[in-house]
Amino acid sequence: MSNDLKDKRVLVTAGASGIGRVTANEFLAAGARVFVCDIDAKALQAYQAEQPTAATMLADVADAAQVDRLFDAVSAKLGGLDFLVNNAGIAGPTANIEDCAPADWDRTLRVNLDAAFFCCRRALPLMKPNRFGAIVNMSSTAGKYGFARRAPYAAAKWAIIGFTKTLALEVGEYGIRANAICPGAVEGDRMDRVLKADSKATGRSIEELRAETVRDTALKTFVGPGDVAAMILYLCSDAGRRISGQAISVDAYTFAAGV
């Protein structure tokens, strides 16, 4: 790959762990200037110690006022922005719709959907004058299927795709691209938590649910965080310069989800 990501300015939200952390590291390895925010102070501190050249800031991206402060800091530190990775997302409750508390619904929508809006509305004025940029929003296979016991998560991840396609239409004439990524089941702490919650809700064993998750993919495998990061970098690189408005799965071809 050419080094077209070198010196580019990137904000990765929720970048202190999981997919965001691996993505931020890949951007750093490609020579980009990386800003990472996260809600978890301890994880963020550990990330800063591991990657002293990255800029970091504690921020809850589901809170518009905190996003305003975050973008003030990004502008001051990076002097602009080329790429925005709206990675923040929470699994939300594992419950049938009638058992889903309105507060849990609200929080899940806030982190998975509203946060991307809050960040885009601040990122676009930084990108438009350059007539260049790329935004990657994190959806999920849950944004392409129904997902039993995960209604707020699935609703938010479907909405992210509609938001991304609309965004792509609005910003294309400014040389800015917007795409969504739909990861399948990604190995890691979060997947362990999701399987545990599903086991509790269904009475099925974690081993059985894990085996079923793999069986429901064509490639018979979980996805790694690095697989998702590779797609994010591809979409931001010159290789992705004609790709916009897409919802791209990185899911080992998942053909059933969350039933």
Judged by CB under 6 A, does residue 62 bind ligand NAD?
A: yes
Which residue, 4 or 60, is less far from ligand NAD as judged by CB? 60
**Could you say whether residue 201 binds ligand NAD (CB under 6 A)?**
no
Residues 6+ away with beta carbon under 8 Å from 18: 186, 188, 189, 190, 225
Take residue 125 and report the two structure tokens written for it.
Answer: 């004025």
Q: Which of 5, 11, 12, 19 binds ligand NAD (CB under 6 A)?
A: 19
40: nearest Cα among 24, 57, 55, 23 = 57
Stretch that binds ligand NAD, among 58-66, 120-128, 197-205, 240-248 (CB under 6 A): 58-66
Handedness of CA 12, 17, 22, 24 (dihedral sign): positive
Of the candidate spans 68-76, 120-128, 180-188, 241-249, the one that interacts with ligand NAD by CB under 6 A turns out to be 180-188
Q: Which is nearer to ligand NAD, 16 or 231 (CB)?
A: 16
Spatial distance between the Cα atoms of 246 and 113, rounded to a whole number of angstroms:
17
Task: Find the part of the chain contacting ligand NAD (CB under 6 A) among 1-9, 35-43, 169-177, 199-207.
Answer: 35-43
Exposure pattern of 113-148 as b/e (b: 16+ CB <10 Å)? bbbbbbbbebbbebbeeeebbbbbbbbbbbbbbebb
Binding of residue 192 to ligand NAD (CB under 6 A): no
By CB under 6 A, tell whether 18 contacts ligand NAD. yes
- Measured from the CB atom, the residue of 5 and 16 that comes closer to ligand NAD is 16
145 is catalytic: no
Interaction residues for ligand NAD, span 105-124 (CB under 6 A)? 111
Give dist(CA 213, CA 185) in Å, integer: 7
CA proximity to 62, closest of 12, 117, 125: 117
Cα–Cα distance, 219 to 213 (Å, whole number): 11
Size of the site for ligand NAD (CB under 6 A): 29
Task: Choose one: 38-46, 71-79, 166-174, 211-219; the region binding ligand NAD (CB under 6 A).
Answer: 38-46
φ/ψ of residue 175, rounded to 5: 75, 20
Q: How far is the CB of 24 from ligand NAD (least distance, A)?
A: 11
Which one from 153, 174, 234, 253 is the annotated catalytic residue? 153
**How many other C-beta atoms can be found within 10 angstroms of the C-beta atom of residue 101?**
11
The total number of residues shown for the chain amounts to 259
Percent of the chain that is helix, strand, coil (3-state, to 5): 50, 15, 30
Min dist. Cβ of residue 222 to ligand NAD (A): 8
Nearer to ligand NAD, 90 or 231 (CB): 90
Contacts with ligand NAD, residue ranges (CB under 6 A): 13-14, 16-20, 37-40, 43, 60-62, 87-90, 111, 138, 140, 183, 185-186, 188-191
Which residue numbers are catalytic?
153
